[in-house]
Structure 1
Amino acid sequence: MFPYPSAEGLHVGNVYAFTGADIYGRFMAMQGKAVFEPMGFDAFGIHSENFAIKQGIHPRELTARNVKRFRETQLQRIGNRFCWNHEIQTTDPAYYKWTQWIFLQLFKAGLAVRKKAAVNWCPSCKTVLADEQVISGECERCNTIVIQRELEQWFFKITQYAQKLLDNLERLDWSEKVKTAQRNWIGRDEIDGTVQYHLRDWLISRQRYWGPPIPIIYCDRCGIVPVPEEQLPVQLPETENWLPQGTGNSPLADIPEFVNTTCPGCGGAARRETDVSDNFLDSAWYFLRYPCCDRADVPFDSAITAKWLPVDMYIGGAEHSVLHLLYSRFITMVLHDLGHIPFEEPFRRFRAHGLLTKQGGKMSKSKGNVVNPDGYIEEYGADTLRTYLMFLGPYDQGGDFCDRGIAGIRRFLDRVYQWVSKHKNTLQPNSPDLASQRRLHQTIHKISEDMQSLKYNTAIAALMSYFNVLQSKLSIAEVELKSYLLMLAPFAPHVTEELWQQLGESGSIHQQTFPQFEPEFLITEQVTVAVQINGRTRTTITVSPQASQQEAIAIARQTKAVQWYLKNQELGRVVYVPGRVINFVT
């Protein structure tokens, strides 16, 4: 999920989210997949504008400054494989041209309507809010008590898709808590045979400055007229009077050169819509733009879209369950039904990561518990921070950030570096002994399974455990050392890349194939089982711990001792304690 470029910059909770997604992307690339990890900035909206108001800086200037800080001093240093030549910004006219185009497609389909209604009004933000942006009666941005006002506003008819949004959840490979949140929000009820839903139409009008102008023109003769597509984008005008008015009108209403225009229908005098659209519309389709952001003539190229979309794996916060994730599904369904894209669900798989807390509370500037990652990257390196964050707890549950253990992760990576440097010129070319091969392939299997299911903390624990085994060996086989670096690479991309080069390997370690386990080596070493006749031990056999009773009995009956003692005896029953004893009772 692309971030708001706030002036505070990324905190470690953001790095936690991005690192977990990147590790999965790196792992899949090493499985031979073509992997595309783009990045962008969700830079329009109330959040950015409110901070600009607080700082007394124009949001256009502040946003550009914040984006630069995010990109160049933070995101480019955390070790993610972002595809920067496909970066998008929602404030770029080349992007919001197509946000406006999407509005027009809904308008032409009768799914975007203007109506007078009682709406949620935030007295502090001085704008209307969608139902989904009101949490326990308060504005989700500033926690001000929300009041009701009668205003004419633009709505998207998401209610027409309520049943499809509900039905499709059954076939989505998503975190169950997110699916449950959407089911509850859509809220289907049947009262006297009539189907009703809790879901209400999506209110998208905002009486603010910092957003894409809604592409509508009002004409006394023609009524409500859509801006012709060839005239997009309707650019957000430059103005120094951008503060919210609180009157129910956007600051754009006070810019005559913007408001006054010509009707595309009759050519007469007309007025532009002065509300801007909610920034959740910007983010409801951004994943469609990433692969085709270099195309100025279309919002998305059909061939490229068919190759890369829908998204194979989406990782983000569960707090977006009934905002971004629900809106994205709706917009995707509409574009599919209008024939613009060949799929109706945007994300094949969605996994909600856990919340990273500080002293038990969600990180927020108001609480004063936001942790800036920059100092940790400076002191310990990005690899250490990445590995430490993933080791805090299960990725889908999060954990409480406490930096007491980060030095231990740095020592672990230092030991790996020193160990490789020590053995790089004395590696044994032959395969290791059977016990070593078993341990190697069991580790590969364990880590592969954990990576696939985002159980990063247990994968790191397995890496540490296996490293202790390798350190205790007198000689190291080449396959053991290289396999270890390849398994560590998604977590610590910088140090493993350097060590790979020290080994004299050509090409990046991240373009190599992840080690593959061989099933025959997953069988644990055999165990010794006592063989008894009427309770007295007469011999022993060795079997796999997984051996069935039938297999163990068959092996035991082949021994000379059992054959001799059972000769001319009538066998009553056989007792088998797996891995310990077989007792033949005559």
Structure 2
Amino acid sequence: MAEQTNVELPQDRYNPAEIEPKWQAAWDADATLYAADTHETGKPKFYCLEMLPYPSGQLHMGHVRNYAIGDALARFMWMRGYNVLHPMGWDAFGLPAENAALKNNTPPREWTLSNIAAMRKQMRRMGLSYDWSREVTTCLPDYYKWNQWLFLKMFEKGLAYRKKSKVNWCTQCATVLANEQVIDGCCWRHEDTPVEQRDLTQWFLRITKYADELLTGLDKLDGWPDKVRTMQRNWIGRSEGTLVDFVVQGGASRTEGSAGKGEKITVFTTRVDTIFGATSVQLAPEHAITKLFAAEDATLAANVEEMIAQQAKAREAGDIGAIEKHGVPTGRFAINPFNGEFVPIWVANYILADYGTGAIMSVPAHDERDFEFATKYGLPVKRVIAPASLASQDDPDAEALPLPYLAEEGAVLIESGEWTGEACLDAQPKLAALAQAGGFGSATVTYRLKDWGVSRQRYWGTPIPMVYCDCSPEEPLPLALEDLPVLLPPQVDITQQGGSPLGRVPEFVNVACPKCGQPAKRETDTMDTFVDSSWYFYRYTDAQNDQAPFDSAKANYWFPIDQYIGGVEHAILHLIYSRFWTKVMRDLGLIDNDEPAARLFTQGMVIKDGAKMSKSKGNVVSPDLMIERYGADATRMYALFAAPPDRDLEWQEEGVAGISRFLSRVYRLTTKYADISRAETSGSAAEAKLLRKLHQTIAKITQDFSGRWHFNTCIAAVMELVNEIAASEAAMDAGEISGAAVREVFRNLILMLAPFAPFFAAEMWERIGGEGVVFRTEWPVANEELARESEMEIPVQVNGKLVSVVKLAVGSDKAAVEAAAQADEKVAARIAGKTLVKLIVVPGKLVNLVVK
């Protein structure tokens, strides 16, 4: 690519470097441009929100595209008469600040706040219409105090609790990760770092209490992309089934081996109807009963350790489901409570201790995975399901069924005692009820979703407001609400590994017990940064409140968010957490809504050099450079024009230059005709044509904004209108188009450009004498009569080849179309001396003359 140079514009042409700062200063000084927290405005409300950024230091064009989409929508809705809330803030806690601090020898707080200042400056220079009086910065005490307040409220309700469990540990982050932060077995921030499993005592939020509501609530979110809702359904992973207890017996003689005897192995199955075909029970290597068996059997213990290592290796590879399946017999047996049969107990490497109950019943005749395992180790295979047409297992047709046989619709039980002949679906609730009545099981629902582990062994996060004291050895003690916030110490050594850095700060750790007043210790873990982003949009409604997280009346006025905009990569992490947090705050009486956002839009990525634009890829394009060369309006307008907002955009700087030339063209035309004072009415064909194009453009952009959000086609339509204006210059100069029509065209042209190029529109609005603020002026309304085409163009073919195009009045009948086609000079010349065999008319589409 040729070396780029700054674009020098003549003084009589649009100069964004001069005009854009002028208008930004004017907007900053005008507080009336922002939302009012009241119904008294008489306007309907519209809450427009883009996901808040992490303050990494600089925006790139990927950010600009996201924010330009939201900004165009916010400005459009203002012009449509809505009271629009459009705020911005900073997701300012988190590990990257610590890593940057280590790299740059700068305290995380200083590094973060300096980045925020730089990014805020960039956003202002882009002309983004944010209400900065509502700015939220999550690393400041006036925000994280309410993280702590909400945590304590959850603790009161039993939603925040502490337990020892197996957790995901990233060695590079040196902290715990939530299940949602483990991607293909690796850390979500470090794609090449396998996640380890460690046993730690951690704080959890009981998101599973809301699992069913989180799932059913997705059905109401018809304004969300289907892809996002499917991802959340799969993550929640609801399964209906039955818990069944298999009682452990002895060893090979049914009485040998004392370990575990009499213990219950609880399995979860979605197919309790197949339980008469269970030929083994399989345990996870880390199951509690496995440990009991291994304590008596050194060989088994060695095999179990090897399986644990295999699972760890499979996690590192990213897919535990693809593990090569291995198992070892324990030499013990368990009793199937439905038929009293003894089934062998095995330990298998593909069973996970933290999934389900950590144990399964194996039915190899009717499950592919179980069949693979049974075939490998020679375990029995017993058919207990067959098509309804087959009465028994002895039927030769039943024996001919392929194995494993998966139940089809209408399948029935065979070889299942008194249940033989029962339809599978009918038998399931009856067998579950039998287990319940017999005390050896129950119907249940399980979820893939696990409680949210929020403890992080890092410094740069919200301190957890809990205290440990000998006066309460069983449970940590909450701080009093009036003692909040627990402030994060400003200077902490974060270079040492092992444990939370806060644990090495005596003045932070040592505190008086809130219960007995004696010396006690603070919790030294901090909260997961996703806590900050789970409720920030509520704080926007009342960002300066120092008495509560927000005023409920204000939040209830604005919520739910009318349009939320952000990347699909947040479908699980952020969006499911924010839905959970909303339901908790509803149950605390803080809000009335059930869901945070009525509509969600996931924009496409900006691609450069074949990869997503990001700092980690080293392929970012700075908007500052683009603004310096072409101006902010051209930069953001290109981001909206180059592709539909839901599609990926391939970055091309030449496209920004093209938009800059287009704006310069509009500037020239508007400036030339800004002082048109003629008042005569023309009624000429040229005027009708220009006004028709204007009102067609208004109709198209209004429709695209309100429905498809295809901003690229909106801008293309404006470009077509400008082409029509340029083609009408001679007519305007000659007085063939009235001054009133010229003013109408340019006034509405500027209004339609306002959502996409606000600086430019403000300047042009002033030039033509427009009253008030351009993007608080009512959006134009298309005149359907003026927009209606008076003529139609119909292609004329001869023997299927295009020869000419004829123009006729809209609504012309078939005879008129045929006559016009044959009278056309080009057509007449082509068919001269030939015989017309057939004349085909497709109404409003084409005419084809078949000749020979």
Residue 54 of structure 2 corresponds to which residue in structure 1?
4
Counterpart of 1:134 (choices 179, 182, 190) is: 182
**Contact 2:608/2:650 (CA < 8 Å) preserved in 1?**
yes
Distance, in Å, in 1 between the alignment partners of 2:587 and 2:606 is 39
Q: Which amino acid in structure 1 is aligned with residue 111 of structure 2?
A: L
Counterpart of 1:182 (choices 219, 229, 232) is: 232
Instruction: Output one character per residue of 1:473-500: Cα deviation in whole Å (capped at 9) or x when no partner.
Output: 1225211111011001111111110111
Q: How many angstroms does 1:367 deviate by?
A: 2.3
Q: How many angstroms does 1:258 deviate by?
A: 1.1
Distance, in Å, in 2 between the alignment partners of 1:420 and 1:527 is 30
Q: Which amino acid in structure 1 is aligned with residue 692 of structure 2?
A: R
Tell me, yes or no, if structure 1 residue 408 matches structure 2 residue 408: no
Q: How many angstroms does 1:178 deviate by?
A: 1.5
Instruction: Output one character per residue of 1:89-124: Cα deviation in whole Å (capped at 9) or x when no partner.
Output: 001101100011111111111111111111110101
Counterpart of 1:355 (choices 596, 600, 605) is: 605
Instruction: For residue 264 of structure 1, give the secondary structure of its aligned residue in structure 2.
Output: coil
Residue 235 of structure 1 corresponds to which residue in structure 2?
487
Instruction: For residue 477 of structure 1, give the secondary structure of its aligned residue in structure 2.
Output: helix
Q: How many angstroms does 1:578 deviate by?
A: 2.6
**Gap regions ≥5 residues in structure 2:** 1-50, 241-269, 272-442, 733-740, 795-806, 818-839, 848-852
Q: Which amino acid in structure 2 is aligned with residue 352 of structure 1?
A: T
Answer with 423-432 or 180-189: which moved more: 423-432
Answer with 175-184 or 519-528: which moved more: 519-528
Distance, in Å, in 1 between the alignment partners of 2:165 and 2:463 is 21
**Contact 2:89/2:137 (CA < 8 Å) preserved in 1?**
yes
Instruction: For residue 491 of structure 1, give the secondary structure of its aligned residue in structure 2.
Output: coil
Residue 446 of structure 1 corresponds to which residue in structure 2?
700
Cα distance change, pair 246–131 in 1 and its aligned pair in 2 (3 A): farther
Distance, in Å, in 2 between the alignment partners of 1:480 and 1:457 is 21
Cα distance change, pair 386–431 in 1 and its aligned pair in 2 (3 A): farther
Instruction: Output one character per residue of 1:75-101: Cα deviation in whole Å (capped at 9) or x when no partner.
Output: 111111111111110011011000111
Residue 25 of structure 1 corresponds to which residue in structure 2?
74
Instruction: For residue 221 of structure 1, give the secondary structure of its aligned residue in structure 2.
Output: coil
Q: Which amino acid in structure 2 is aligned with residue 323 of structure 1?
A: L
Distance, in Å, in 1 between the alignment partners of 2:721 and 2:843 is 28
Instruction: For residue 51 of structure 1, give the secondary structure of its aligned residue in structure 2.
Output: helix
TM-score of the two chains, using structure 2 as the length reference: 0.62
Residue 532 of structure 1 corresponds to which residue in structure 2?
none
**Contact 1:392/1:398 (CA < 8 Å) preserved in 2?**
no
Distance, in Å, in 2 between the alignment partners of 1:412 and 1:542 is 33
Instruction: For residue 616 of structure 2, give the secondary structure of its aligned residue in structure 1.
Output: helix
**Contact 2:642/2:649 (CA < 8 Å) preserved in 1?**
yes
Distance, in Å, in 1 between the alignment partners of 2:185 and 2:160 is 26
Q: How many angstroms does 1:155 deviate by?
A: 0.8
Instruction: For residue 21 of structure 1, give the secondary structure of its aligned residue in structure 2.
Output: helix
Tell me, yes or no, if structure 1 residue 44 matches structure 2 residue 93: yes
Distance, in Å, in 2 between the alignment partners of 1:305 and 1:158 is 23
Cα distance change, pair 99–428 in 1 and its aligned pair in 2 (3 A): farther
Instruction: For residue 174 of structure 1, give the secondary structure of its aligned residue in structure 2.
Output: coil
Counterpart of 2:458 (choices 188, 199, 208) is: 208
Residue 89 of structure 1 corresponds to which residue in structure 2?
137
Residue 151 of structure 1 corresponds to which residue in structure 2?
200
Instruction: For residue 83 of structure 2, give the secondary structure of its aligned residue in structure 1.
Output: coil
Residue 580 of structure 2 corresponds to which residue in structure 1?
330
Counterpart of 1:463 (choices 715, 718, 724) is: 718
Counterpart of 1:485 (choices 750, 753, 757) is: 750
Instruction: Output one character per residue of 1:182-212: Cα deviation in whole Å (capped at 9) or x when no partner.
Output: 1121122331364322211111110000011
Instruction: Output one character per residue of 1:124-177: Cα deviation in whole Å (capped at 9) or x when no partner.
Output: 110011111111111111221111110000111111111111111111111222
Counterpart of 2:531 (choices 252, 257, 281) is: 281
Q: Which amino acid in structure 1 is aligned with residue 649 of structure 2?
A: G
Instruction: For residue 85 of structure 2, give the secondary structure of its aligned residue in structure 1.
Output: coil
- Higher Cα radius of gyration: 2
Q: What is the total number of aligned residue pairs between the two structures?
A: 545
Cα distance change, pair 13–274 in 1 and its aligned pair in 2 (3 A): same
Distance, in Å, in 2 between the alignment partners of 1:486 and 1:414 is 17
Cα distance change, pair 580–70 in 1 and its aligned pair in 2 (3 A): closer
**Contact 1:428/1:477 (CA < 8 Å) preserved in 2?**
no
Cα distance change, pair 431–327 in 1 and its aligned pair in 2 (3 A): farther
Distance, in Å, in 2 between the alignment partners of 1:522 and 1:425 is 26
> Mapping of 1:243-262 within 5 angstroms?
243=495, 245-247=496-498, 249-262=499-512
Distance, in Å, in 1 between the alignment partners of 2:743 and 2:229 is 46
Q: Which amino acid in structure 2 is aligned with residue 156 of structure 1?
A: L
- After superposition, the CA RMSD in angstroms is 2.3
Distance, in Å, in 2 between the alignment partners of 1:542 and 1:369 is 54
Distance, in Å, in 2 between the alignment partners of 1:11 and 1:228 is 43
Distance, in Å, in 2 between the alignment partners of 1:367 and 1:580 is 50
Instruction: Output one character per residue of 1:332-391: Cα deviation in whole Å (capped at 9) or x when no partner.
Output: 011112211111100111111111111120123332211111111111100000111111
Counterpart of 1:197 (choices 444, 447, 458) is: 447
Distance, in Å, in 2 between the alignment partners of 1:195 and 1:522 is 59
Tell me, yes or no, if structure 1 residue 436 matches structure 2 residue 707: no
Percent of aligned pairs with the same residue?
47
Distance, in Å, in 2 between the alignment partners of 1:316 and 1:366 is 19
Residue 62 of structure 1 corresponds to which residue in structure 2?
111
**Contact 2:72/2:755 (CA < 8 Å) preserved in 1?**
yes
**Gap regions ≥5 residues in structure 1:** 530-540, 557-574
Counterpart of 1:35 (choices 66, 84, 105) is: 84
Q: How many angstroms does 1:581 deviate by?
A: 9.9
Instruction: Output one character per residue of 1:193-240: Cα deviation in whole Å (capped at 9) or x when no partner.
Output: 643222111111100000110111112112311111111111101224
Q: Which amino acid in structure 2 is aligned with residue 328 of structure 1?
A: S
Distance, in Å, in 1 between the alignment partners of 2:479 and 2:594 is 27
Residue 775 of structure 2 corresponds to which residue in structure 1?
510
Distance, in Å, in 1 between the alignment partners of 2:846 and 2:79 is 45
Cα distance change, pair 70–490 in 1 and its aligned pair in 2 (3 A): same
Cα distance change, pair 478–138 in 1 and its aligned pair in 2 (3 A): same
Q: How many angstroms does 1:544 deviate by?
A: 4.6
TM-score of the two chains, using structure 1 as the length reference: 0.89
Instruction: For residue 113 of structure 1, give the secondary structure of its aligned residue in structure 2.
Output: strand
Distance, in Å, in 2 between the alignment partners of 1:82 and 1:154 is 36
Cα distance change, pair 102–435 in 1 and its aligned pair in 2 (3 A): same
Residue 314 of structure 1 corresponds to which residue in structure 2?
564
Q: Which amino acid in structure 2 is aligned with residue 174 of structure 1?
A: W
Instruction: For residue 364 of structure 1, give the secondary structure of its aligned residue in structure 2.
Output: coil
